[in-house]
Amino acid sequence: MTALPSFSLRFWPVWQRNFLVWKKLAVPSVLGNLADPMLYMLGLGFGIGSLLPQVDGVPYLQFLAAGTLCYSTMNSATFEALYSAFSRMHVQKSWLAIINAPIDIDDVVLAEWLWAASKSVLSGLAIFLVMWGLGLTRLADAPWLMLVVLLAGLTFSAMGLVMTALSPSYDFFMYYFTLVISPMVLLSGVFYPVAQLPGWLQTVAGALPLTQAINLVRPVVNGGWPVSVLQPVLIMVVYAVASYWLAVVLIRRRLGR
């Protein structure tokens, strides 16, 4: 049960299946993923931004845009790994049906992980295009920003799958949002610099994956380069790999495979 996850190309048909289902509702899905971060970015960016001087040397809207890109990616990956994956696992019993074919549960979890991350990249790309359209970032920044978005998507998808493996019902996810996601959004520098927090909270924030994603994105959006690349990447990779392994172990136990 606790063996390392296996990897094979058998995940691909399961990923395709999720993609084909999503295609039927692609437009409302994209609009839904855009609505919340866009309201935050434009409402707070223009509203509060008009009352503030520059933040970290840039207009508040530009400061907020970088955090919103990471926040949107986290949200998209989290919702897909929680609600959609839980529906397929527990409500629709799709996973049990799939593993009756010559496909292992590890293949199914791998497909769900990569699908949730893929969907978060689409969300991140949509936010990036809005930022570019508003003149908040350069088109040349897209490759780097999308790489960070992909890493963030993998990280938060894996964390979400752990909660899916533990959840008895949809209501359980509210604990995760209340105790993990919401505090992380408030501490990680989405809306204000982490340096404004007390020292001990800065230490807590520094251990959060969302903080590390923002540390990789914001300097690039502001026209520079991160002071450190290796440390934020390593922290996010550790979260992603450890969470994915734990999710696989818990789902094996839950499904008795």
Residue 55, helix vs strand vs coil: strand
Summarised one tens digit per residue, pLDDT across range 135-178 is 889 999 999 999 999 999 999 999 999 999 999 999 999 999 99
Model confidence at 39, in pLDDT bands (50, 70, 90)?
Answer: confident
Give the count of alpha carbons within 13 A of 208, CB side only: 24
Q: What are phi and psi of 58, to 5 degrees?
A: -130, 160
pLDDT of residue 45: 65
Q: In Å, how far are 94, 133, 189 from 255, measured between CA atoms?
A: 12, 46, 38
- Separation CA 198–CA 242 (nearest Å): 29
Q: Residues 31-39: what's their mean pLDDT?
A: 68
pLDDT of residue 203: 95
pLDDT of residue 168: 93
pLDDT of residue 32: 66
- Separation CA 5–CA 3 (nearest Å): 6
Residue 25 has pLDDT above 90, yes or no: no
pLDDT of residue 134: 84
Residue 29 has pLDDT above 70, yes or no: no
pLDDT of residue 179: 95
Q: Residues 242-248: what's their mean pLDDT?
A: 97
Q: Residues 182-209: what's their mean pLDDT?
A: 94
Residue 257 has pLDDT above 60, yes or no: no
- Separation CA 113–CA 108 (nearest Å): 9
Residue 130 has pLDDT above 90, yes or no: no
What percentage of the chain carries pLDDT values higher than 70? Answer: 92
- Considering only CA atoms, give the Rg of the chain: 19
pLDDT of residue 60: 86
Q: 10 exposed, middle or buried (CB, 10 Å; 0-12, 13-18, 19+)? A: middle
pLDDT of residue 170: 94
Q: Residue 63: which of 178, 193, 205 has the closest Cα? A: 193
Task: Tell the residue number behind the tokens 């979400």, with chain if given.
Answer: 160
DSSP string across 203-228: HHHHTSHHHHHHHHHHHHHTTS--S-
What is the distance, to the nearest Å, from the Cα of residue 164 to the centroid of all Cα atoms in its chain?
15
